[in-house]
Structures are given as C-alpha cells and as structure tokens.
A and B are shown apart, each in its own frame.
Chain A
Amino acid sequence: MIDKRFLVGIIVFGSLWGFAECIIGSMIRDVNLPAGAIMTGVFAIGLMTLSRITFRQQGMQTGIGLVAGALRFFNPFGGCFICSAIAIMAEGLLFDLIWTGFSLDKKETLTLTTQMSLGITASYLVYVGGYIVTQILTPVFSSAGFYPENLIVFLPQIFASGLLAALLGVATVPVVFVIKKTHITIQDRLYYPVTLAVSAFCWVFVIVNTILIIWL
C-alpha cells in the first residue's frame, strides 16, 4: 500500500525545490551569481538530504526531482526549459542512486567526515550530471542537433565548474543534519494541511509569476 505521508512528502519537497529553481534561481542569476552551483550545492542537496534523513526511503528523491522538474516546466523562461526540467529530474535520480549506492539509510548516525564527504560527492556528481544532461538535451531539442565533440571538448570546463557546488555541499549536508537534530516536527493533525498548503503556494506562485511575465 502506498504511504500517503510519503507521497505528500515527495510533493512538498519537490514543490519547494521547483519553487527555488524558478524563483530564487532567477533572482540569483539576475545578480550575476553562479546560480547553477548555488541551486545544486545549497537548495537541491539541502532539500534532498533533509527528505532522505527524514523518510529514509529509496526512490523518494527521484520522485522529488520529478515534481520539481514538472514545476520548472511551468516556468518557461531561461533557455531550454524542457531541458532544465529533465535535468532536474536526472539530478533527483542521481542523488537517489548515490545515497542508495552507499547504503546510507542503514546507518543510524553519520560522522561529520561522512556528512562532509557526502556533501562533496552528492553536490559534485549531481551538478556535473545535470550539466551534462542539459548539454546533451538542449541541442537535441533544437534544430541544430547534438554533436558529441561539442560536449567532449567542454568536459574540463564542466568538471571545473562543479568545484563550487562541491564546496557548498561540504557545508550544506552537515547543516541539514544539525537542523534535523533539533527535532522540529509538525503535529500529526497539521501535517497534511501544512504540507499541502506549502506545495500549493509554490505552484500558484510560479504559475502566477509566469502569467505576469508573459502579460507584462
């Protein structure tokens, strides 16, 4: 039987990530900061880590990526939005594979070294993976077509650009573990109203923002 609480968890975390990508990501880009690395190293890794240590269930981050990617799809700005949506979905899947691959759900506690290493590994691989997916999909979805040599010569640049995401991840993951230790919980009777209201807010905000940008 599907756990309703788990499903609502996917929706709320995915909506928050999608909201961050569409709204906060645009704001960061507007002030000429490296939005991609910040979004992955702080928001994506932070939200996915928090969801994973809260629910400890495989597949959750793939679902979160699907929800966040779907929300990105409703914000058709900033280049190839279909590619961005698919890249976000791929990032969720990658995080899931990393966490599952290292059997981290079985551990009751993780040492600070493991948390920091996880921050580097997950942030770097998720960022680089998402970047590569976008570099392949954008030409595929355009009339120019995909030329593998364009990607191959640019790989050193992609590998280099992941450094900032990795360095941000070093701090993000331990901070999330500290936040989790504070045992902030929502009362059972408030869980569904609060999480669904937060999710609805994220979706409505992004969609209204899209409509306003198109009209104005």
Chain B
Amino acid sequence: MGKDRLLPILALILLFIASSSSLYVYATQSTTDTLLINGQYYTMDQLFSIAKPRSFNDSQYIGIALDDLMLKTGVSNPEQYTFTLKGSDGYEKTVTWENMKNGLLTKNRESVFSDLPKAFRVKDIITIEVT
C-alpha cells in the first residue's frame, strides 16, 4: 500500500481533532461579570474605582494600571511573583512585575502592555493569578 493511501485516514483524524477541539472550546467557554484577582472576586466598576488610570499611544488605549491594581488588591512584595492573565477562551499569558508596570486593563477586560507584543493582549480576562 502506497503511503499516499494513508492520507485520507490522517485527514479524517485531523478533522476529528479539530471538530472535537472546537466543541470542547465552545463547551468550556465561560462568561462572568466579575474578575477573579488573587483569589478574590471584583466587579469591573470596583476595580476602576480603586486603581489609578493609565493610557498609552496618545490615549488610544485607556484603562487602569495593572501594577496599581495588584497593590490595591493586596499583593505585597509583587516583584517576587509572576502574574497569569486568563481569558474566557482559555488564552493565558504570564508576565513579570516589570511588565505589569507597563500594563493596563481596559473597560473591555483586555490587557495592553507597552513593552510587550500584541500576543500579550489577553481578551475578556476572567482571572489574574498571582504565583
């Protein structure tokens, strides 16, 4: 049997993986009005009332300072930790305290960092884990 005969089988397996992954992603996607930071739930209004505002690129990106947010939510000695921002779709990125000093959280729950590439813009953030 030629190797090319295996192609349809492999194609079917890949389609199965892609389809079942799509179903899994759809089923596990979560929506919430609150944001879980370091084990505590907050509403966006609460967060915007406690943390300092920050903007980048001539106010193209406006939000609250991520470093100040961590301090106001009770993270002490933040330079000793890393911060994992998790989106509702499962996308997550881990950043350092230095990055948090250059980061903001928008009203749409998106992270923007002036010192990191676009890949670090986590959309619809539901959790910020401090580890």
Interface set of A (CB-CB < 8 Å, partner B):
78-80, 83, 101-104, 107, 110, 113-114, 116-118, 120-121, 124-125, 134-135, 138-139, 141-145, 147, 149-150, 153-154, 156-157, 159-160, 162-163, 166
Contact = CB atoms under 8 A, between A and B. Distances in A.
A18 B90 CA distance: 31
B4 interface: yes
B34 interface: no
A144 B116 contact: yes
A120 B14 CA distance: 8
A134 B120 CA distance: 12
Contact of B10 (A79, A121, A150, A154): A121
Contacts of A121: 7, 10-11, 14
B4 A143 contact: no
B95 A154 contact: no
Nearest to B98: A143
B15 A154 contact: no
A174 B84 CA distance: 44
Interface residues of B, number: 36
A102 B91 contact: no
Contacts of B99: 143-144
Interface of B is mostly: helix
Nearest to B122: A150
Interface of B: 2-4, 6-8, 10-11, 14-15, 17-19, 21-22, 24-25, 28, 82, 84, 89-96, 98-99, 115-120
Contacts, number: 111
A78 B115 CA distance: 14
| Nearest 10 A/B pairs, CB to CB | A79-B118, A159-B21, A163-B18, A117-B11, A160-B21, A120-B11, A117-B7, A160-B22, A80-B117, A147-B94
A74 B91 CA distance: 29
B7 A156 contact: no
Nearest to A151: B92
A144 B14 contact: no
Given A124-B15, A153-B90, A157-B21, 20 more contacts: A80-B117, A102-B7, A114-B4, A116-B11, A117-B8, A117-B11, A121-B7, A138-B117, A138-B120, A142-B117, A143-B98, A143-B99, A144-B93, A144-B116, A150-B94, A154-B91, A154-B92, A160-B21, A163-B18, A166-B18
